[in-house]
């Protein structure tokens, strides 16, 4: 990164509970970027997945894929060069449970 130049797209990655969302919020606020958060709490299959991975892995994954698809439409449908986004996950990573 060139000194003084802030990237248009910043993705924060890491394990569950390390503060990705908090850091993403801080960076977005400080740099004036839009905030795009992974909304895992909204996944209706996640609690069932943690209790029975064998039977709920596919449904949980499918929900995340659909959620990502909606977020891509919302955040990346416009000209990405003009948008400034901070996310607490990478769109490009594989989704798995």
Let me know if residue 21 belongs to a domain: yes
Give the CATH number of the domain where residue 64 resides.
3.40.50.300
CA atoms within 13 A on the CB side of 87: 21
- Contact indicator for 72, 22 with CB cutoff of 8 Å: no
Check pLDDT > 60 for residue 73: yes
Let me know if residue 20 belongs to a domain: yes
23 token code pair? 């850091």
Distance CA 53, CA 63 (A): 15
The predicted-structure confidence for 45-67, as pLDDT tens digits, reads as follows 999 999 999 999 999 989 988 98
pTM for the full predicted model: 0.67
Count of structural domains, the chain: 1
The neighbour count for residue 28, using CB atoms within 10 Å, is 20
Distance CA 78, CA 12 (A): 22
For residue 33, the enclosing domain spans 9-87
Let me know if residue 25 belongs to a domain: yes
The predicted-structure confidence for 1-54, as pLDDT tens digits, reads as follows 555 688 888 999 888 789 999 999 999 999 999 999 888 888 999 999 999 999
SS3 at position 62: helix
pLDDT band at residue 94 using 50, 70 and 90 as cut-offs: low
């Amino acid at each position: 990164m060139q000194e003084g130049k802030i990237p248009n797209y910043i993705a924060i990655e890491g394990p569950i509970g390390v503060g990705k969302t908090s850091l993403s919020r801080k960076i977005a606020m400080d740099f004036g970027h839009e905030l795009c958060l992974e909304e895992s709490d909204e996944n209706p299959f996640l609690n069932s997945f943690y209790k029975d991975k064998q039977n709920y892995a596919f449904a949980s994954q499918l929900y995340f894929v659909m959620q990502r698809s909606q977020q891509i439409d919302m955040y990346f449908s416009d000209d990405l060069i003009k948008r400034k986004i901070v996310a607490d996950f990478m769109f490009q990573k594989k989704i798995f449970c």
